[in-house]
Amino acid sequence: MHRKDIGLAVLVICVGAIVALVNPRFLSPINLANTANLIGLFGLFSIAEAFVIVTGGIELSVGSVIALLGVIFIDLIATHGVAWPVALAIVLVLAVFIGLLHGLLVTRLKLQPFVVTLCGLLIYRGIARFYTRDGTAGFTFGTDFPALEYLVAGRSFGIPHSVIAFALVAVVSWFVLHRTVFGRHLFAVGKNEEAARYSGINTRRVIVSAYVLCMLLTGLSAVFFAMYTRSVQPASHGNFYELYGIAAAVLGGFSLRGGEGSIIGVVLGVILLQMLQNLVNLLGIPSSLNFAVMGSVILAGVIADTQFSAYRERRRHQAAMSLLDKAATTSKG
């Protein structure tokens, strides 16, 4: 674990202890299970967002993609009678296509990631609303998919399957990002894309792959959310999810400039955000202030991280200057 991860883990424990002291219902089995389920659901697309952020990019269309693919998935299995494994494959293929499109627009046409994904946010939300004629996509009375519901929304030994899926994705993502050549290339591109290109890295392929991975995990997240909510209202489903994913990644140590971060940090960031959300609910704070409370905490965390980083940099600089002074004194002696 990085030093930032350890600090964030301590913060998570402290916040958990405070929440438990403020309201003991936090530790009730039902509340813990519900919170864990939400951690799993929101964690999937937060890790997805991290793969793009580490390259110095941004993905603002996550929420709209979740809405669009959720609508398509429900329509395929509930209206058209498509077998759910086939529908899942179709949704994931569409997700990969969206990621490939974004990556090519960024690398080939040299468009800004912010512009590309902001346009995607608007386009996919609009398509989802047009697809349903601004209605709600859901299951008709009596519709039942026991195998799918068990795999996606069920529990094993009291643990929600969304948490298990999140844990598996986190482990694989940690290995890919921190223990493979591809992961080192992602960090290198984020640090300095031009230097990475001159060192022989195919930067275009790396960036496109990051967007494809991001959308692939987002597609998986869309299926989990569709089965969790049992209905999708395209006008509101997935709203601000991209900001949640960005916040979790930033809290986890990912720099929006690229080249920094860890998957463990993202996991801890997701847990912290959901604990804060749970605290807001348990304290009876109006839901209209949820985002204000979370935004304030995130801002405070980022400011603290920036100040600590600047402090450590000053300490390193002072230590280096002291060594130079000692070396100069020794050579004169």
In terms of Cα–Cα distance, which of 291, 278, 207, 201 is closest to 243?
A: 291
Mean of pLDDT values over 291-302: 72
Encode pLDDT of 205-217 as tens digits.
999 999 999 999 9
Dmax over CA atoms of the chain, in Å, equals: 90
CB 70 within 8 A of CB 222: yes
Quick one: pLDDT band at residue 1, thresholds 50, 70, 90?
Answer: low
Distances (CA, A) of 173 to 3, 17, 107: 20, 29, 23
Residue 314 has pLDDT above 80, yes or no: yes
Q: How far is CA 24 from the centre of its chain?
A: 29
Q: Which DSSP string do the residues of 230-272 spell out, in sequence order?
A: SEE-TTTTTTTHHHHHHHHHHHTT--TTSS---HHHHHHHHHH
Mean of pLDDT values over 282-297: 74
Share of the chain above pLDDT 90, in %: 53
Q: Which two tokens stand for residue 259?
A: 């080249």
Mean of pLDDT values over 115-143: 89
Encode pLDDT of 63-95 as tens digits.
999 999 999 999 999 888 899 999 999 999 999
Distances (CA, A) of 76 to 65, 71, 138: 16, 9, 11
Angle between helices 146-153 and 161-179 (to 10 degrees): 60
In terms of Cα–Cα distance, which of 35, 37, 84 is closest to 276?
A: 35
pLDDT in the model for residue 71: 94
Is pTM beyond 0.85? Reply is yes
Contact residues for 303 (Cβ-Cβ < 8 A; gap 6+): none
Residue 200 has pLDDT above 70, yes or no: yes
pLDDT in the model for residue 327: 75
CA distance 182 to 118: 27
